[in-house]
Structure 1
Amino acid sequence: MNSLHFQNIMRAVPGFGFLLVSQVLGNTIQSRGQRFQRRIDDRSSQFSNFLDRDDPTSNVPIQDLPPADDGIVCPPEDQDDTGTTKVTLIIPITDATGCYEFKTPDFGPDSRYPNALYQAYECTYEIRLPNKDLRPTFSISKDDFELQQGNTAGTTCPSDNFILKNIDETGMSEDDVKPFDNNVQYCDELTGDKLFTVIPGENNDNRFQIIFKANKFTRRRGVRGLLCF
């Protein structure tokens, strides 16, 4: 159909142009809505199998966290015999796509994280994001969390513990120990899966922290989680 023929049809059939434009616009809106819904479905799919590398239906790209700057490792190679040895692992994220897997030392099906050589060690994983506008999620499956038990009242973790800082928790639970603004602390086991939104900003310089502490006594499996963009 040439341009002149099309113009003649438009003049001959009142309202045809309006209907045609409306149909095109409607199809465009519907297409955008479908794409948006697919993104939501894909996001939901991520968290339904977010730690199952063996699930053949999972198409989520999962990679290990980059190594820390300056070769710092956890547990610390040199430990103080008079108190808790603390180290900070600076981990920059430059590619804000897909998911990154976090694991405490020696995490595995039949493994246990190392005891401290003396009193205790405390590792702060300081994960730095490319910019403060990103809002990635951090997820923990209850099946991938096992630390030494807290006190009998369930209000403190005097021995081994796990802390997340600069996050917003999706729903508080009985697992939360000593909750405070934008931070949570856990030990023992979890009663349910956890989902958090990372909220870096001006005051924390585009970063959030994962803190893991272990003493020289009881060992457990540790913690595995997923940071997704």
Structure 2
Amino acid sequence: MRLHPLTSLAAAGSTAVITTAAAYLPLSLAVCAAAVGLAFAGGKADRMLPAAAAVLVPLGLSLLVLHGLFFPEGVTVLAEWGPARVTSEGLHFAVERVAQLSAAVLALLLFSFSVSVPDLVAALSSRGVTGRFGYVLASTLTLLPAISARVRRIRQAQESRGLVVRRGWTHRVFAFRLQAVPLVLSLVEEAATRAQALEARGFSGQGPRTSYREVLDPPFQRIARVVLLVAAVAAIAARLWFPTAGV
């Protein structure tokens, strides 16, 4: 049976919260593997993985550089260049954070590439989630699957203007900035345009609504959503109560 959009959202959000709160490397790697496997099984991997790489590669490299070279608690020094020290503790901490971030991003991207946006909008509307939050959320979700194609078009346009990505971190960071800035600006502009279109169609209006799209919501999925939300809250509470767990 097909998952209700809110069930998929609860599963993705709870997975991201629990993985982040646990901060446990095997769990993070298992979530990453499960998300990639589900993406391949659902035929979404060819679009989801490039989008995940566009988000995770620069963030992962920055975490590796920051914690791998400048980790104050590092004791086992593997290499040293002036104030920068590569320590095994720093690398281990960086790998844990990268895996933790990757698990959360992949879980949320899997949801965004798998969910039916019309069904999600209908489900949100039936639950009374309207107003500015509702249509901004819906308009943002419609943009996520197009990120990878947009990044590819921006890079092709930059390369046609003479951009050459040479070896070395300096050139790569410069090339990433040239591609990231127009990507963010175009996404913000298009999200605003889609939000205005949704608002013009009455999505932000108040009062009773009539929907022509029915989304089935079996009782066991409602129970599953409650269980997922309780599990996420319990994970946060456990992390706050036992702050040293998983570190």
Asked if these proteins are the same fold (TM beyond 0.5), I'd say: no
Richer in strand (by share): 1
TM-score using structure 2 length: 0.18
User: If you compute each CA radius of gyration, which structure gives the higher value, 1 or 2?
Assistant: 1
> Using CA pairs below 8 Å that are at least 6 residues apart, which structure has the higher relative contact order?
2
TM-score using structure 1 length: 0.19
